[in-house]
Amino acid sequence: QNNPPYNTGAFRFELTFSYNHPLEPPCATLRTPIYHPSVDLEGRVCQPLTTHQHWHHTTRAIQGGHRGDGGAQHRRCPS
């Protein structure tokens, strides 16, 4: 039985796009407070797809929402 701990929750995300989008990746912030290894204490989401190294200008933002692979690199969002 596939019962991950987050499969029944509703989570609010904020995507911030720079003026250089789609040449730069969006910044994803989780606004629902949870403990997750791919989310820092301020809600910044650590996903390889949202790093400059893995982002391609042809990637659509919705593709990032369907990826479940956590990343070791973290990109800080501009303030």
Adjacent-strand bridge partners of 45: 39
Q: Which listed residue (25, 46, 47, 75) is catalytic?
A: 46
How far apart CA 44 and CA 77 sit, in angstroms, is 8
- Residue 27: active-site member: no
Angle, CA of 35, 6 and 54, to the nearest 5°: 75
Tokens of 15: 């995507």
Q: Which residues are catalytic?
A: 46
